[in-house]
């Protein structure tokens, strides 16, 4: 029998089930939380857990502690974990189906299953929906007409979500493709490999993977590809192309092409479809037809072959168009008029302004995993000049304003210390920031005098996402007016496939931010990518400053910067639009950063 290959979602679901079983059985809440955290962390991995396991890297997943790692190891090695089985024993499988309903927790799910005598997973949701429709649930103690309606609505929504969910997040698609690329590159038949389609255009979500292989030996190269160990099913196979399904269910279309027509091939299968259609219509009027093989004159039937995409575009009288822009959103006109933007790139980035360390700040949100110095060392390796530590604010419950001030003073002190010791050596300056909740009324969740301890403040909405557009706009505008506020983090609040962004009057927010030099964040988390590309484009046109942040909760996350960059580029952003491309001195000046104390004690070498 073929070896079982574990998928991230499958493992995450299992850990979540264990957490639920623990909760139902009344286990210690920290244990329950540990399992949930591990599940979330695995769900958000940008690589495959199977690969991590094979490389002995399971313990490096943030949130996966030694004991969970041990159980996972047993699971992946033998196909089951005795410990998980013991915890799950006695909980009917239907309970875990019911947990898919928003708003139903483990204990409620357990009670529902028992009261309605639903045990098996199959049809569990349908049976609950039927019971709700017949008014059976409102009769159970602890439930009412309102909760019954909510359950019905949530079941209907969860069905919709499932259909939508087939597309992958960019980061996952990216890592999968790298894996396939690596395999292909190992063959001497393969001259070059290139990812195409929506992944090359760096779309936030990707349907299927498209790839091209440059080769002079189609047949052997194609056969070599089909031997890739993760190929599960061959959907179709031609002389120069094939479509397969990988063991994780992802489809890949691969084309094999000779060097002389490589340019038109890349161009054609990068798309987008709209971009291609626009080009094709334009060329037809001039008497040419476009295909993956080249540019053909309709009159003479002569085919112009192009080895590179640049030659292809130039032949049509256009400047080379970066893939991220190929959405038929004005890029073709700009390429004709030589007015394409010079897109921001990785080498332009001088720092990361939104990161969470493990400094014990006593927040009700999550803490980071690594300490200041670990993250600063990583920043140095990335070539950064500065790093902004912005843990979540201390929780309001359980802290007086004086407590909060004391905690932040402590952190200020540590940051100053770090700057005296480590930062000087590594030439990376630590900035003291904080990610502060915007309360529903627009107040900030820390006492105003504590703001003085910060170099700059990041503000964000973390609750009450469903306010009306008008109230949300008033709320955010009020918060933006506090002193020290320089960044509005993940400005729409969207999470891909989990939550739509809230409504606000962007024109008002844009105007305020532009006037006060406050940056809107492009958050690089794969399921956030917020601002989304469309709003980035609007912000760029409105000349609103932007920052690209990783919102890292562990050093590994600091590499996510590239996904934020993708979004910025899809939004036509140039270096001048992105605040964290500024060298430290210019940033300090622009934002009036209050770092006097340190400047005396920590002179930086002059450049």
Q: From CA 496, how far away is CA 170, in angstroms rounded?
A: 11
Binding residues for ligand DGT, rule CB under 6 A, total 12
Burial of 539 (0-12, 13-18, 19+ CB in 10 A): buried
Find the binder of ligand DGT among 59, 73, 147, 276 (CB under 6 A): 276
| From the list ligand DGT, Ca ion, none, partner contacted by residue 344 (C-beta under 5 to 8 A by kind) | none
| From the list Ca ion, ligand DGT, none, partner contacted by residue 341 (C-beta under 5 to 8 A by kind) | none
Q: From CA 157, how far away is CA 492, in angstroms rounded?
A: 22
Cβ proximity to ligand DGT: between 17 and 172 the closer is 172
Please identify, among the stretches 93-101, 153-161, 196-204, 598-606, the one whose residues bind Ca ion according to the rule CB under 5 A.
Answer: 196-204
Q: From CA 12, how far away is CA 163, in angstroms rounded?
A: 20
Find the binder of Ca ion among 148, 210, 370, 521 (CB under 5 A): 210
Token pair listed for 553: 């909760």
Token pair listed for 259: 């060097």
Residues numbered 232 to 261 that lie near Ca ion (CB under 5 A) are 253
Find the binder of Ca ion among 63, 92, 197, 491 (CB under 5 A): 197
List the Cα angle 214/220/225 in 5-degree steps: 70
| From the list Ca ion, ligand DGT, none, partner contacted by residue 273 (C-beta under 5 to 8 A by kind) | ligand DGT
Q: Find the shortest distance in angstroms from Cβ 277 to ligand DGT.
A: 6
Cβ proximity to Ca ion: between 253 and 327 the closer is 253
- Give Cβ neighbours of residue 433 (< 8 Å, ≥ 6 apart): 353, 354, 388, 389, 390, 454, 455, 456, 457, 458
Asked if 323 interacts with Ca ion (CB under 5 A), we say no
The residue with its CB nearest to ligand DGT is 271
Q: Find the shortest distance in angstroms from Cβ 198 to ligand DGT.
A: 3
Q: Find the shortest distance in angstroms from Cβ 132 to ligand DGT.
A: 36
Strands in 303-304's sheet, in edge-to-edge order, are: 288-291, 294-297, 303-304
Q: Find the shortest distance in angstroms from Cβ 567 to ligand DGT.
A: 16
DSSP for 38-88, written as a single string = HHHHHHT-SS-HHHHHHTT-GGGSTT--HHHHHHHHHHHHHS--HHHHHHH
Cβ proximity to ligand DGT: between 326 and 557 the closer is 326
A 10 A CB-CB count for 405 gives 18
A 10 A CB-CB count for 125 gives 20
Q: From CA 521, how far away is CA 540, in angstroms rounded?
A: 12
Q: From CA 524, how far away is CA 556, in angstroms rounded?
A: 13
Please identify, among the stretches 272-280, 399-407, 429-437, 520-528, the one whose residues bind ligand DGT according to the rule CB under 6 A.
Answer: 272-280
Q: Percentage helix, strand, coil, to 5, in the chain?
A: 50, 15, 35
Asked if 259 interacts with ligand DGT (CB under 6 A), we say no
Find the binder of ligand DGT among 62, 63, 92, 271 (CB under 6 A): 271
Find the binder of ligand DGT among 6, 110, 225, 269 (CB under 6 A): 269
Asked if 208 interacts with Ca ion (CB under 5 A), we say yes
β-strand partners of 389: 355, 432
Asked if 271 interacts with Ca ion (CB under 5 A), we say no
| From the list ligand DGT, Ca ion, none, partner contacted by residue 385 (C-beta under 5 to 8 A by kind) | none
Find the binder of ligand DGT among 272, 364, 373, 474 (CB under 6 A): 272
Residues numbered 185 to 214 that lie near ligand DGT (CB under 6 A) are 197-198, 206-208, 210
Q: From CA 169, how far away is CA 37, in angstroms rounded?
A: 20
Q: Find the shortest distance in angstroms from Cβ 69 to ligand DGT.
A: 34
Residues that bind Ca ion (CB under 5 A): 197-198, 208, 210, 253
Residues that bind ligand DGT (CB under 6 A): 197-198, 206-208, 210, 269, 271-273, 276-277
């Amino acid at each position: 029998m073929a070896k079982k290959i574990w998928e991230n979602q499958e493992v995450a679901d299992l850990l979540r089930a264990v957490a639920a079983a623990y909760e139902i059985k009344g286990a210690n809440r920290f244990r329950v939380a540990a399992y949930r955290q591990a599940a979330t962390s695995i769900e958000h991995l940008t690589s495959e857990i199977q690969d991590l396991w094979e490389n002995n890297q399971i313990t490096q997943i943030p949130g996966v502690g030694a004991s969970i790692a041990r159980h996972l190891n047993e699971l992946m090695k033998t196909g089951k974990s005795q410990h998980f089985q013991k915890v799950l024993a006695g909980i009917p499988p239907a309970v875990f189906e019911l947990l898919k309903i928003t708003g139903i927790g483990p204990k409620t799910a357990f009670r529902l299953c028992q009261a309605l005598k639903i045990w098996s997973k199959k049809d569990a949701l349908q049976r609950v929906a039927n019971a709700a429709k017949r008014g059976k649930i409102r009769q159970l103690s602890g439930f009412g007409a309102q909760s019954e309606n909510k359950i019905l609505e949530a079941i209907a929504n969860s069905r919709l979500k499932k259909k939508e969910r087939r597309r992958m997040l960019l980061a996952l698609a990216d890592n999968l493709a790298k894996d396939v690329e690596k395999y292909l590159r190992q063959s001497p038949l393969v001259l070059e490999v290139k990812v195409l389609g929506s992944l090359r255009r760096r779309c936030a979500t990707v349907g299927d993977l498209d790839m091209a292989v440059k080769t002079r030996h189609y047949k052997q190269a194609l056969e070599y590809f089909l031997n890739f160990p993760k190929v599960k099913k061959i959907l179709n196979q031609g002389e120069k192309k094939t479509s397969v399904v990988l063991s994780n269910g992802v489809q890949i279309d691969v084309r094999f092409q000779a060097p002389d027509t490589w340019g038109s091939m890349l161009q054609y299968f990068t798309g987008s479809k709209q971009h291609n259609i626009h080009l094709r219509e334009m060329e037809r009027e001039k008497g040419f037809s476009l295909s993956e093989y080249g540019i053909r004159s309709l009159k003479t039937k002569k085919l112009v072959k192009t080895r590179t995409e640049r030659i292809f575009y130039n032949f049509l009288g256009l400047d080379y168009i970066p893939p991220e822009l190929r959405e038929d959103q004005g890029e073709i006109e700009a390429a004709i008029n030589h007015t394409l933007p010079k897109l921001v790139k990785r080498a332009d980035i001088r720092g990361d302004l939104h990161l969470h360390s493990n400094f014990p700040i006593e927040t009700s949100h999550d803490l980071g995993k690594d300490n200041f110095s670990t993250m600063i060392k990583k920043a140095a390796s990335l070539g950064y000049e500065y790093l902004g530590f912005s843990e979540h604010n201390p929780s309001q419950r359980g802290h007086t304003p004086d407590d909060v001030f004391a905690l932040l003073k402590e952190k200020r002190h540590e940051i100053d210390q770090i700057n005296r010791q480590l930062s000087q050596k590594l030439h990376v300056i630590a900035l003291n920031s904080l990610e502060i909740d915007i309360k529903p009324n627009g107040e900030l969740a820390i006492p105003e005098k504590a703001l003085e301890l910060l170099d700059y403040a990041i503000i964000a909405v973390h609750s009450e996402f469903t306010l009306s557009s008008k109230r949300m706009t008033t709320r955010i505008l009020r918060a933006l007016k506090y002193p020290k506020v320089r960044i509005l983090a993940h400005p729409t609040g969207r999470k891909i496939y989990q939550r739509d962004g809230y409504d606000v009057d962007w024109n008002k927010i844009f105007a305020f931010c532009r006037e006060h030099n406050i940056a809107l964040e492009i958050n690089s988390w794969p399921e956030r990518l917020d601002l989304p590309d469309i709003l980035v484009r609007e912000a760029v046109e409105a000349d609103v400053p932007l920052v690209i942040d990783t919102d890292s909760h562990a050093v590994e996350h600091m590499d996510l910067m590239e996904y934020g960059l993708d979004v910025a580029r899809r939004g036509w952003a140039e270096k001048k639009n992105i605040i964290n491309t500024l060298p430290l001195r210019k940033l300090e000046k622009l934002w009036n950063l209050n770092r006097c104390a340190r400047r005396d004690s920590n002179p930086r070498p002059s450049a």
